[in-house]
Amino acid sequence: MSTSSTSCKIDIGRLEGKENWSTWRCKVLLLLRGTPGGLDAINGNLKPPTHPDAAANPAAMASYQQALQDYNEKDSAAMLILMANMSDVTLQKVMRLTSAKQIWDELHTLFDGTSEDKSYNLCYSFFSYRKDPLHDMSMHISKLKNIWHELKVELQKDEAKYDLPDILIICKILETLPDDS
């Protein structure tokens, strides 16, 4: 496992599809946060420099070349992190794209679904959630809180900015506790 900027592959697991998109996205965001320009690249805040006009002096051209190299290094590092940590099937869906932002947007299109679909699926997951007998209590509550958090975030994206009262998560935790707790 290497963390140097020249070797951006850290084993966070491969993005296979919708089934592991949520956990993969969390891990890759953490990895990108530790990469200079990584988050800026996927969020679209990293922009290529504007090419100077033909009458630009050598100093302006040198400055442009340096800025272009910096942009390419940051965008390439983010692309490498994304592409090196996905399955070949997923890679084939994004390999035509030429920037980290384009790849990130495409992954969201492929695996997040529409906001309405995601809200419905999260709501369904939350209200149908039952404790897995193999999970201890902390894992059970953690999984429920993760679904709850994703649902709240998704509902805040809506124009109406729905806000769920915290009493719902408390009630759900209590409802799913085993009788022997």
Q: Which residues are CB-contacts of 178 (< 8 A; sequence separation ≥ 6)?
A: 131
**Nearest residue to 83 via CA among 75, 91, 93, 72:** 91
Output the CA–CA distances (angstroms, integers) from residue 127 to 47, 51, 130, 132, in the order listed: 42, 54, 9, 15
Reduced to 3 states, what is the DSSP secondary structure of residue 145?
helix
pLDDT in single tens digits along all 181 residues of the chain = 444 444 544 678 999 988 899 899 999 999 999 999 999 999 999 999 999 998 989 999 999 999 999 999 999 999 999 999 999 999 999 999 999 999 999 998 888 765 666 777 788 888 888 998 899 999 999 999 998 988 888 888 766 677 788 888 888 888 888 877 5
pTM of structure: 0.63
What are the extents of the domains in the chain?
18-111, 115-176
**Residue linked to tokens 């946060």:** 33
Contact 113, 38 (CB under 8 A): no
**Nearest residue to 181 via CA among 143, 139, 136:** 136
